[in-house]
Amino acid sequence: MKAVHFGAGNIGRGFIGELLHKSGYDVRFADINAEVIDELNEKRSYTIHYAGSDKQVEVNGVSGIHSVEEAGQLSAAIREADLVTTAVGPQVLPHIAPSIAAGLKERSRTDNPPLPVIACENMIGGSTRLKEEVVEIAGEEILGVSCFPDSAVDRIVPIQNNEAMLDVSVEPYFEWVVEKKDFKGKLPDIDGVTYVEDLEPYIERKLFTVNTGHAAVAYKGAEKGYETIREAMDDKEVVEHVRRTLEETGKVLIARYGFEKNSHERYIEKIIERFNNPDLSDFVARVGRGPIRKLGPYDRLVKPARTYIQTMHEDPVNLIETIMSALTYENSEDQEAVRLKELRTRMGTLGAFKEITGLDDRDELVEAIAKKLD
Ligand SMILES: NC(=O)C1=CN([C@@H]2O[C@H](COP(=O)(O)OP(=O)(O)OC[C@H]3O[C@@H](n4cnc5c(N)ncnc54)[C@H](O)[C@@H]3O)[C@@H](O)[C@H]2O)C=CC1
Ligand SMILES: O=P(O)(O)OC[C@H]1O[C@](O)(CO)[C@@H](O)[C@@H]1O
């Protein structure tokens, strides 16, 4: 079986590549990073190290395609593939859509079955978003030869600092949940994937617990001058703030999806433990990257905060505190953090929040943040 995976980065090599290889796929990574692609083509394999244990997994039979310079090869690979996956970042999906559209157009001239394209990004509806971009380019008829099931992925893979360029250190935990309903034909046999009828509870539980919690560590940590997640998690005040924030998102999730209270509390504690993993070295700058995206109306902070207000009829004080820390996050090497600072200087903190979220003064979260800024 053949898979094309867009994004030979941390999640690409350290998670999706591992599971696809284990399931018998030959994985071709498509990326714009020529150094990584050349190394993949030379070495044809890499090692995954499980943080905190001696376990190592060899991923072999892999290769790379430069997604811009080798566009013809990439189209041919998509034409013949059994599966396409992505882990490039939500903002990059529109940039890879033309390559996928071109490959699918070639495929439409063959008898090959419809190709599943699964986006593995930290966002709600990632594959659906990619589908919209592809359809915009190639037209609705392209859905005759493809399908775009949504998915949720969970594994913490920090920025890597290994001797061998392709090796990846990962946390042992992982979860990859894929929605069944959009598949055309047989579900791909991927070891470790859970197929579900309705992804919404899974993706919201993951995004509004793992990612909300991690964002709270990063932004609170940055506010207190910490550079690493370790330093932030060693500060009891930060950990307490994170726990209270997750209690708020927990109330929303329980009310919305009927999760059992005790088991959700255990899920929260398990996740706080994962942030505390002494064997993973992670930076506030990675976990807090892209603050404008993370402050988006459907992302890990604003969506649960607004739902909390609508459901509980009170302000989520800890989520609001995290939003305030995110709004004042600074990092001169992060383009979104730089833009956020410009917006704040130009429009004030509330103006920047409204600009980023598209919310206006009538919104109760905007009102709550205005009160906080008074
Ligand atoms: N690192 C983590 O712990 C987790 C990350 N994710 C999600 O996975 C996605 C990827 O994250 P990471 O692997 O951490 O990032 P990363 O930065 O390590 O990898 C992204 C890769 O995409 C490549 N890329 C960028 N533009 C491209 C283009 N136009 N065409 C092809 N490749 C392109 C980059 O060169 C890079 O190799 C994000 O959506 C992230 O939210 C989800 C769960 C965990
Ligand atoms: O990848 P994003 O959306 O920028 O956010 C980083 C998040 O992704 C993770 O790496 C894994 O979900 C978390 O560590 C962190 O919450």
Closest CA to 74 of 172, 168, 8: 8
Among candidate residues 360, 373, 362, the one with its CA nearest the CA of residue 321: 373
CA 362 – ligand 1 centroid, Å: 36
Instruction: Give the number of whichever ligand sits closest to the CA of residue 289.
Output: 2
**Which tens digits make up the pLDDT trace of 339-355?**
999 999 999 999 999 99
How many Å apart are CA 152 and CA 139, to the nearest integer?
26
Q: Is pLDDT above 90 for 61?
A: yes
- CB of 210 within 6 A of ligand 2: the answer is yes
Q: Is 11 annotated as a binding residue?
A: yes
Task: Tell how far the Cα of 87 is from the centroid of ligand 1, in angstroms.
Answer: 5
pLDDT at 356 over 90: yes
ipTM here:
0.97
On whether the CB atoms of residues 215 and 322 are closer than 8 A, the answer is yes
**Beta bridge mates, 117:** 84
Choosing from 198, 233, 252, the residue where a domain stops is 198
The verdict on 167 and 283 lying in the same domain is no
Strands (E), the chain: 2-6, 26-31, 45-50, 56-60, 63-66, 83-86, 115-119, 146-147, 151-154, 168-170, 175-179, 193-196
Which of 198, 214, 246 is the last residue before a domain boundary?
A: 198
pTM: 0.95
CA of 122 to the centre of ligand 2 (A): 7
| Domains contained in the chain, number | 2
Give me the CATH number covering residue 355.
1.10.1040.10
Which tens digits make up the pLDDT trace of 145-175?
Answer: 999 999 999 999 998 989 999 999 999 999 9
Range of 151's domain?
A: 2-198
Greatest CA separation for the chain: 64
Q: In this model, does residue 281 exceed pLDDT 90?
A: no
The band of 374, judged by pLDDT with boundaries at 50, 70 and 90, is confident
Q: Is the Cβ atom of 6 under 6 angstroms away from ligand 1? A: yes
Residue nearest to atom 31 of ligand 1 (CA): 31
Which pair of structure tokens corresponds to residue 208? 């509004």
What average pLDDT does the segment 266-274 reach?
A: 97
Residues 108 and 228 grouped into a single domain: no
Q: Provide the sign of the torsion angle of the four alpha carbons 114, 115, 120, 123, taken in this order.
A: negative
Q: Determine contact, residues 329/340, Cβ cutoff 8 Å.
A: yes
